[in-house]
Structure 1
Amino acid sequence: MIKLLSMRKQSKLLFILIFLFFQYHKAQDSLMISANEFLAVVKNYHPMALKYQLQNKIAQSEITKARGNFDPILGGKLGEKNIDGVQYYRQKNIELGIPTWYGIDLTAGYQYLDGEKLNSSETKGGIYSMGITVPLAKNLLYDKRRAALDQAKFASKMTEAEQTVLTNELLLEAENTYWEWVQSFEIYKLQNKAVEVSKKRLQLTRKTFEYGERAAIDTVEAASQLQSFELQQKEAYLNFVKNTQQLQLFLWKENREIYEISQLFYPADHLSDHTAYSDFEFLLQEIKTKETTNHWSVQYYTQKHHILESERKLKWQSFLPKFDFTYNFFNKENYQSDYLPLFDNNFQYGLKLEIPVFQREAKASYQMAKIKIEQNKLDTEFKKRELTTKIETYKNELLNYHTQIALSQNNLMNYQQLLTAEETKYANGESSLFLINSRENKMIEAQEKFISIKAKFLKSFNKLKWMNENFSL
């Protein structure tokens, strides 16, 4: 309880800090949020993350419920029968039943009985009793009570594995959404810069035309380039707004209300600042040492196997005859106890035997339990293979995109050099504005490609990182 309150206080403090962070930047006429702050909000306030946490609490409650099968039971009875002034009987009973782990039931009680019309087998007065019931065949080694508790424990671990995977998938989706948002913002900034450069070039071209140094067609060429960039700028802005709306779906407040943003906000991180560029080799080495058996999604099937195995053990008990032994020791009030020998005086015992003749229900139930275990084994093997394939795919993506980043960067530098050279030739009257625009378009395409490849690299890194987070210790 103390830990839970501490976690709640930390969550409230975290939200307050993020809120103040937003308000500070709002005072600067812009809102900004980093990837770590964004993920902290998702983890602590997103409805699905909270739902997964609640599911784990339900699983823990199932364990408590199963333990209830071993709770002592205290019972009492008070009754009387009287007809035509004749008191047939008057009784007071109190009994305590104690179930134990090994299928043995202990009982203790007190009974007072009096009346004029009692059965000959009943004893007048007060009598104390202590008893024990022992299964000698069926339910001796395993029974429904033990199976229910075992299965509840395995189900709790199964739920933990499932909710861990689901939570990490949510965080992966959120983080990749953040970097897609950053990508769209950086492309938008690129288009803004292109528009500004194009505006200056148009102004310069018009002045040189007025001085008679350039042809009139050059102003048309410059204006056409500006209009093309402005269209791309509008498209980039629209894409940024759309990605901002997608990001906003992950932002929630403590009271489970979506965080409404009244104005655009911007990423505090840049694609080039991510630690993935230096950490990806360590991640590759770390995940190389992991066994798929320890992955939470495989642990889910492992715990399911334990549940099915528990069910199989329980079904096996159905083949055994039900053979129960019950013994009760009695002691009347105001009499000296005489415990030994057990079968000499003041006792009651019974043997009960039940044997199914054809065992058809037991055979069918046991066979189905075995088949379910085989099905789960197939699911486990398929999941392991699926994980191995995903890991290899993400590793290949990561390495490939890392190589592409270097190639794209070199390609971008070449286009920049070509543009610079073309501008120099144009200044010397050896080129045309058409060729400059062509070079510039190629360079901007290369810049967008460079941004896109960096974003793809980060998303592949995140896939592998969250895959690694899904491995249990």
Structure 2
Amino acid sequence: MRHLSKDEFVSIVKTYHPTVRQAGIGVQKAKADILKTRGVFDPVAEGRLDRKTFDGKLYYSYFNPQITIPTWYGIDIKAGVEEVIGDRVTSEATLGKTSYVGIKFSSNSLLYDGRRAALQQARLFKEQSEAERRLIINDVMYDAFSSYWNWVREYRNYRIISEVIAVNEARLSFTRTEYEQGSRPAIDTTEALAQLQTFYVQQENAKLAYLNAGLSLSNYLWTEDNIPVYWNESIIPDTSELQEWTTPSLNNLLSLATSHPKIDALSSKISILEVDKKLKQQYFIPKLSLSANMLNKGYTTDFTPTQTFLENNHKIGATLNIPLFYRDAIGGYRMAKLKIAETELEQSNQLLQIENKVRSYYNEVLALQRQIDIYTEVYRNNQKLFHGEQFRFRNGESSLFILNSRENKMLETSLKLLELKMKLQKSYVGLLWAAGQLG
């Protein structure tokens, strides 16, 4: 026999369960997306060659390698060289070899732009994926714990009835011996046999429930190679783990509920929407695009700014774009604000539901603790009555019918007490699940 402890089971589920591993992949994907988004700030080297020859004549040849360095502040730094030769080049082109270095930017991207927004959102998406991973694990572990404690309960039920059967088999043998010796009537052997056969039926039902509970437990048993582990009867629970729990204070649980992964995921979503709103604000700024290059003859690297730059050896371009009604900017900004308000309402509603779930499970735990205390005393009293009746029966002072009645009542309270203890285990798990602490 191999004992499967609660801690070992939890470790297996958190490490190897496919759903948990998928949640981890989601976080890795978010990290990859951050790396991808950072690519918009990578320097880019490019080159252009445009050449035409016809009938033995070189019409034109334009050669222009260039490197562009994006910066965090929305300004692109660029540098390159040009070689223009030919008989029919465009009038604005400069023949020969030239080099240049310059900048390019837009007024509504100096404070904020789409590149910075995309990177910030990618980082926030990673935080959101972390919260969603915790949420998934929280839900998976709740189901896994429920399956585990159900398995433990069915195993204990089966063991209790099996132990009762062993006692009744010995009693049937004792009754038959006394009948053969003339100390008991024949009806007592029938009474003992009928009781034993009833327990045999209960044992079969208990074994069926135990086997099915084990199969349900198999849904959470996986290996490192993503191979399911099929449960068999050689795997039994470690029932010594039915220890008493220390119930956390309600205020502490409600405080933990504010960092529930569902609430954290919505907080990340709100932050993502705030980034979008900030980007939408930039659309109210008139779009002035400016590019400025300092020029030099030949492939030189001497670009010392002088006062004559504005008079000579430069290339400057500017465009101005001002919407007359700003409808696109106004509509986009309003939509961004409404999405934030909508998500904040959802977050408030979810927090209230989570807090109420915590209170509900907390009340259930307290109620079950009181019931267990009461039923523990009921079981002890029924146990005393049974043992007393058994002593009287062996001394010939009681009937087998009364003894069986006492035994049935003791068994009933024993199974009920076990059921309450298993409910308490599940309720403690539910309490931690409601507060989002299983992930």
With structure 1 as the length reference, what TM-score do the two structures score?
0.88
1:117 is aligned, of 79, 88, 100, to: 88
1:108 is aligned, of 36, 61, 79, to: 79
* 2:46 aligned counterpart, secondary structure: strand
Residue equivalent to 2:133: 163
Quick check: 1:84 aligned with 2:55?
yes
1:339 is aligned, of 280, 305, 316, to: 305
How far is the alpha carbon of 1:261 from its aligned partner? Answer: 4.4
Residue equivalent to 1:348: 315
Tell me, which stretches of 5 or more residues in structure 2 are unaligned?
none
Q: Give per-residue Cα distances to partners, 1:328-369, cap 9 Å, x unaligned.
A: 111111787663123021011122111223333222222221
Residue equivalent to 2:246: 280
Counterparts of 1:313 and 1:334, CA distance in 2: 43
Residue equivalent to 1:5: none
Q: 1:471 to 1:65 in 2, by over 3 A?
A: same
Counterparts of 1:471 and 1:374, CA distance in 2: 30
Counterparts of 2:41 and 2:109, CA distance in 1: 15
Do the aligned residues in 2 keep the contact of 1:42 with 1:171 (CA within 8 Å)?
yes
Alignment-mate amino acid for residue 168 of structure 2: S
* 1:294 aligned counterpart, secondary structure: coil
Q: 1:468 to 1:288 in 2, by over 3 A?
A: closer
Residue equivalent to 1:75: 46
Alignment-mate amino acid for residue 306 of structure 2: L
Residue equivalent to 1:363: 330
Do the aligned residues in 2 keep the contact of 1:295 with 1:471 (CA within 8 Å)?
no
Q: 1:291 to 1:433 in 2, by over 3 A?
A: closer
Q: 1:43 to 1:359 in 2, by over 3 A?
A: same
Counterparts of 1:230 and 1:41, CA distance in 2: 35
Q: How does 1:17-416 map to 2 (within 5 A)?
A: 30-136=1-107, 138-261=108-231, 263-270=233-240, 273-275=241-243, 277=244, 279-281=245-247, 283-284=248-249, 287-288=252-253, 290-333=255-298, 339-341=305-307, 342-416=309-383
Counterparts of 1:263 and 1:177, CA distance in 2: 16
Do the aligned residues in 2 keep the contact of 1:330 with 1:347 (CA within 8 Å)?
yes
How far is the alpha carbon of 1:228 from its aligned partner? Answer: 0.6
Q: 1:366 to 1:338 in 2, by over 3 A?
A: closer
How far is the alpha carbon of 1:255 from its aligned partner? Answer: 1.2
Q: 1:124 to 1:471 in 2, by over 3 A?
A: farther
Counterparts of 2:217 and 2:422, CA distance in 1: 16
Residue equivalent to 1:445: 412
How far is the alpha carbon of 1:31 from its aligned partner? Answer: 2.6
How far is the alpha carbon of 1:88 from its aligned partner? Answer: 1.0
Q: Give per-residue Cα distances to partners, 1:147-191, cap 9 Å, x unaligned.
A: 111111111001101101211321232223222211111110000
How far is the alpha carbon of 1:471 from its aligned partner? Answer: 9.1
How far is the alpha carbon of 1:462 from its aligned partner? Answer: 2.0
Do the aligned residues in 1 keep the contact of 2:292 with 2:317 (CA within 8 Å)?
yes
* 2:292 aligned counterpart, secondary structure: strand
Alignment-mate amino acid for residue 276 of structure 2: E
Alignment-mate amino acid for residue 83 of structure 1: F
Alignment-mate amino acid for residue 414 of structure 1: N
Do the aligned residues in 1 keep the contact of 2:253 with 2:358 (CA within 8 Å)?
no
Q: 1:471 to 1:234 in 2, by over 3 A?
A: closer
Q: 1:307 to 1:441 in 2, by over 3 A?
A: same
Residue equivalent to 1:14: none
* 2:111 aligned counterpart, secondary structure: coil
Between the two proteins, the alignment pairs up a number of residues equal to 437
How far is the alpha carbon of 1:296 from its aligned partner? Answer: 2.2
Stretch of structure 1 that moved more, 426-435 or 312-321:
426-435
Do the aligned residues in 2 keep the contact of 1:195 with 1:230 (CA within 8 Å)?
yes
Counterparts of 2:203 and 2:299, CA distance in 1: 102
Counterparts of 2:151 and 2:231, CA distance in 1: 15
Do the aligned residues in 1 keep the contact of 2:99 with 2:299 (CA within 8 Å)?
no
How far is the alpha carbon of 1:40 from its aligned partner? Answer: 1.4
Stretch of structure 1 that moved more, 385-394 or 304-313:
385-394
Q: 1:439 to 1:174 in 2, by over 3 A?
A: same
Do the aligned residues in 2 keep the contact of 1:41 with 1:252 (CA within 8 Å)?
yes
How far is the alpha carbon of 1:468 from its aligned partner? Answer: 5.2
* 2:252 aligned counterpart, secondary structure: helix
How far is the alpha carbon of 1:416 from its aligned partner? Answer: 0.8
* 2:239 aligned counterpart, secondary structure: coil
Q: Give per-residue Cα distances to partners, 1:295-353, cap 9 Å, x unaligned.
A: 22211111100101111112222233211122111111178766312302101112211
Q: Give per-residue Cα distances to partners, 1:412-468, cap 9 Å, x unaligned.
A: 001111112222333444432111111111110100011111111111122233455
Do the aligned residues in 2 keep the contact of 1:35 with 1:269 (CA within 8 Å)?
no
Residue equivalent to 1:19: none
Superposed CA RMSD: 2.0
Counterparts of 1:151 and 1:411, CA distance in 2: 60
Q: 1:337 to 1:230 in 2, by over 3 A?
A: closer
Query: What's the % identity of the aligned pairs?
Result: 35
* 1:329 aligned counterpart, secondary structure: strand
Counterparts of 2:349 and 2:103, CA distance in 1: 49
With structure 2 as the length reference, what TM-score do the two structures score?
0.94
Tell me, which stretches of 5 or more residues in structure 1 are unaligned?
1-29
Q: Give per-residue Cα distances to partners, 1:190-234, cap 9 Å, x unaligned.
A: 000111111111111122222222222212211111111111011
Alignment-mate amino acid for residue 305 of structure 2: Y
Alignment-mate amino acid for residue 275 of structure 2: S
Do the aligned residues in 2 keep the contact of 1:294 with 1:471 (CA within 8 Å)?
no
* 1:451 aligned counterpart, secondary structure: helix
Counterparts of 2:125 and 2:52, CA distance in 1: 50
